Structure 1
Amino acid sequence: MRPLENIKVIDFSTLLPGPLAGLMLTEAGAQVIKIERPGSGDEMRSYEPKIGEDSVNFALLNAGKESIAIDLKAGDAFVRLRPLIEQADIVIEQFRPGVMDRLGFGYADLKRINGRLIYCAITGWGQSGPKALVAAHDLNYMAEAGILGLSAGSDGAPVLPPVLVADIAGGAYPAVMNILLALRHRDQTGEGSYLDIAMGENLLPFAYWGMGNGFSADMWPGGGDALVTGGSPRYQIYATGDGRYLAAAPIEEKFWNNFCSIIGLPQEMRNPDADPEAAIAAVAAIIRRKSAAEWRAEFDGHDVCCSIVAHLKEAVADSHFAARKVFDRNLNIAGKTLPALPLPVAAVFRSKSTNLPPRLGADTAKLLAE
C-alpha cells in the first residue's frame, strides 16, 4: 500500500506547478482528478511536440490522473462538483488571488461543506501584498527575488536560467511539502488547512548564504563576485580545448590542492590571497590546452570535484542513472514509448507501473455520477 492510497485530490491547476505537485501525489498513491476547461482543457495539452493527441509535456506531468471537463462559470458547476468536494482531501489551484472566490470555489466556500479539506493555492506572489495580482513568469520571480542578480556572464549581464526554478522548486515542491504537513496536522487535529504557496518568496532560501552575508556584515553579493557565483577560481566553468566545458568546484583545500597539482597551476596562483581574477585566467589558460576527454582522463580516480558539462542527451544515458534505474518506467502512448518523468519520490513509495495521462473529460460521466 502506497502512503497516499485513499487520498482524493481535486486539481484545478494547469501548466506546470500544480500539475507537477499533483503528479508527485499520484506517484505516492493519491487519486488526482483534473478539472479542465471543456473543448481545450489544460493549455499544456496544446504544446509541441505531441505524443498521441496531446503534448509530451502534458503526458509527462499528468500520467495516472483522471479528467473532468466542466465549465466552472456555468450555473450548475458547483452543484455538480459538490459531491466530489465533500469527499475530497485536497484541492489544488493556481489562479490569481480572488478568482476561485468569484467562481464560488474559494476556500471559505469549500470549507463550509468539508472542514477537513486541505486547500493549496499556488501563486507567484502569494494571496496578499502589493504584487499579489501582478502577472509574471519564472524569469520575473527569479529577477525580483534577487536570484538572477547573483551571477553574471562574460559581459557582466545576468545569465538566463536553463530551468524553471520558481515553478518547480518555488511552487510544486513546496506545495507537496506543505500538503504532507497539512495531512499530518489533520491526523492530529481533524482539521483542514489553507496553504498559501508563493513562488517568488520560496526562491529566497536558495540565496541563504547571500542573505546571511548581507544581513550580518552588509556584504551583499551581486554580479558574479561571490564564491559560488563566479568570484573564485575554485568554482568556475572553464572552456576546454575542443569547445566543451569543465565544471570545476574544488572548493575545499584538499580538493583544490589535488586539482592544482593535476593541472600544474603555478604555486603563486594557488594561494588563497592570490588575485582571484588572475587565478581564474591562469586556470582557464591551462584548461584550454587539452580536450574534454583528456581532462576527464586526467581527473579520473582523483577527488577534485570536476565534471565535463554534459549535453542533456548524454546525461540521460549516463551509466549511473542506468544503474539506479532512474528511467526504467515507461509511458506507452499511441504506439510510442518514452520514459516516465523521474520524480523526487522515494522508490519505496512509488507506483511500480505508470498509467496513461487522461483524455480530456474522459472521466466526467463516471466521477460525477459517483
Structure 2
Amino acid sequence: MVNRPLSGIRVLDFSTLLPGPLAGLILAEAGAEVIKVERPEGEEIRRFVPRWGDDSIHFALLNRGKRSVTVDLKDPGAAARLEPLIRDCDVLIEQFRPGVMSRLGLDYERVRAIRPDIVYCSITGYGQSGPKSQVAGHDLNYIAETGLLALSHGSAAHQVIPPALVADIGGGTMPTVLNILLALIGRQRTGEGAYIDIAMSDAMFTYAWWAYGMGHAFGDWPGNGDSLLSGGSPRYQIYPTRDGRFVAVAALEQKFWDELCDLIGLERRLRDDSVDPAATIAAMRAIFGNRSSEDWAAVFEGRDCATNVVRTLAEAAKDPHFLERGLFDHVLENQAGQRIPALVVPVAPQFRGPAATPGRAPTLGADNDLLDGSVRQ
C-alpha cells in the first residue's frame, strides 16, 4: 500500500516556467491534487520547442499528473470565478512580480478572507520587499547578484555558464516545497495558515556557505576559481584526458588524496599541494592528459580515491546503479501514447504512486468544470 502523504491536499498553482511548476510537480508526486491556473492560450512553456505531442517536452516533464483550468486573470470577474476553487484549496502558489496578485484581486488578504487557513506562497527573484523587489531577472542574474557566480565563472577568454539552474531550483523550487510543508504541519497544530515569501536570490547565500564563512570570519573573501571548492585546489579539480574527455577529482580527504597520488604516480615533491598548488595542478593535467578516459576509468575502478570520469547525460541514464535505484521507473506519456521516463524528483519511492502507472501533463483547460466547485479527486 503506497503512503502518499499529501493525498487530500489541493494546490492552486498560478506559476509558470520552472520554479513553481517543479514545486507543484513534487507536491503532486507526493499525492497532492495540483490545479494549474492558466491563461486562455496556455502558459508560455507549452509552446516551447521541441514539441513532444501537443505541447513542449519541458511542459510535459514539469506538469505530469496535474490538472488545468483556464481563466483570463485580467477579466474583472476572474477573482470571483476562482472563488469555488480557492474555498476548497489548501495551498496557493504564485510567481508574479510583487503587487500583481493584488491588482488581480487575488492577494493573500483577499484569498484568506475566502479560505482563512490557506497556505499562500509567493515566488519571486528578490522577494516582496527591498530595493530590488521589482527588478526583472532569471537564474543567471540571481547567482550573479548574490556573488555566487563570482566564485567560478571562468576566464575572460572562456566564460563558464553553470549547468544547473541553481537559483530557480535551489532558491525557488526547494524552498517553496520545504516551507509549504512546514506551513502545513504548522496548520495541523494551530489551525492557522501562512503567507510565505520565497526570494530565489536569498538561498544563493546558503549555497556559498563556505565562501561566506571565510569572508565574514577572516576577511578572506574567495575570488574567481581560487578556493578549495571552486578550482584553486589540485584536490578538487577537473582535468582533461587524452581523448578529449574529463576526469573529476574530489580527493579532499588526505586518505583519498594519498590513494590518488599513488594511482597516478604523482611526484613526491608535488604531493604536499599546499606548497605550490599551481605546480601540482599543472603536473596532474599533464599526467591525466597522457591517457584516455577509458584507461583512467579502469585505474579508478574499485579504488577509494573520490575520482571518476565525467559521464555524459546519455551514459548516466543507462548507468546500472541509477537504473537499479529505480530513478527512471516512473513513466510520462503524451497524448499520442508515446512514453519516456518521468522527470526524476526528490520524493522517496514509498511516498509516490505506482511507478508502472503512466502520468500525463494536462491538456489546456481540461478541468474547467472545477471552476464550478466540483469536488476533489
Provide the TM-score with structure 2 as the length reference: 0.96
2:78 is aligned to 77
Residue 120 of structure 1 aligns to a residue whose secondary structure is strand
The farther-off stretch of 169-178 and 149-158 is: 149-158
Residue 365 of structure 1 aligns to a residue whose secondary structure is helix
Q: Does the CA contact (< 8 Å) of 1:156 and 1:223 recur in 2? A: no
Matches within 5 A, 1:105-144: 105-144=106-145
- Please give the per-residue CA displacement for 1:145-176, whole angstroms capped at 9, x wherever unaligned: 11110014355765211121111111011000
Matches within 5 A, 1:1-370: 1-38=3-40, 40-153=41-154, 155=156, 159-333=160-334, 334-352=336-354, 353-370=357-374
Q: Which amino acid aligns with 1:29?
A: G
Q: Does the CA contact (< 8 Å) of 2:143 and 2:204 recur in 1? A: yes
Q: Does the CA contact (< 8 Å) of 1:17 and 1:172 recur in 2? A: yes
| Residues in 1 aligned to 2:59 and 2:323: alpha-carbon distance in whole angstroms | 25
| Residues in 2 aligned to 1:5 and 1:272: alpha-carbon distance in whole angstroms | 54
Q: Does the CA contact (< 8 Å) of 1:148 and 1:159 recur in 2? A: no
| Residues in 2 aligned to 1:280 and 1:213: alpha-carbon distance in whole angstroms | 23
Residue 365 of structure 2 aligns to a residue whose secondary structure is coil
Q: State the shift of 1:356 in Å.
A: 1.0
- Please give the per-residue CA displacement for 1:177-229, whole angstroms capped at 9, x wherever unaligned: 00000001101110000000000011110100110010000010011110010
| Residues in 2 aligned to 1:124 and 1:368: alpha-carbon distance in whole angstroms | 34
Q: Which amino acid aligns with 1:11?
A: D
Give the RMSD, CA atoms, in angstroms: 1.2
- Structure 2 gap segments, 5+ residues each: none
Q: State the shift of 1:354 in Å.
A: 4.0
Residue 9 of structure 1 aligns to a residue whose secondary structure is strand
Q: State the shift of 1:63 in Å.
A: 0.8
| Residues in 2 aligned to 1:366 and 1:185: alpha-carbon distance in whole angstroms | 28
| Residues in 1 aligned to 2:188 and 2:348: alpha-carbon distance in whole angstroms | 22
Q: Which amino acid aligns with 1:151?
A: S
Q: State the shift of 1:274 in Å.
A: 2.1
The farther-off stretch of 131-140 and 331-340 is: 331-340
Q: State the shift of 1:366 in Å.
A: 4.2
| Residues in 2 aligned to 1:32 and 1:344: alpha-carbon distance in whole angstroms | 17
Residue 201 of structure 2 aligns to a residue whose secondary structure is helix
Q: State the shift of 1:304 in Å.
A: 0.6
Q: Does the CA contact (< 8 Å) of 1:64 and 1:354 recur in 2? A: no
Residue 202 of structure 2 aligns to a residue whose secondary structure is helix
Q: State the shift of 1:113 in Å.
A: 1.5
Q: Which amino acid aligns with 1:356?
A: R
Q: Percent identity over the alignment?
A: 53
| Residues in 2 aligned to 1:74 and 1:272: alpha-carbon distance in whole angstroms | 65
| Residues in 1 aligned to 2:219 and 2:370: alpha-carbon distance in whole angstroms | 60
Q: State the shift of 1:142 in Å.
A: 0.7
| Residues in 2 aligned to 1:11 and 1:293: alpha-carbon distance in whole angstroms | 47
- Please give the per-residue CA displacement for 1:91-123, whole angstroms capped at 9, x wherever unaligned: 000000000000000001111111100000000
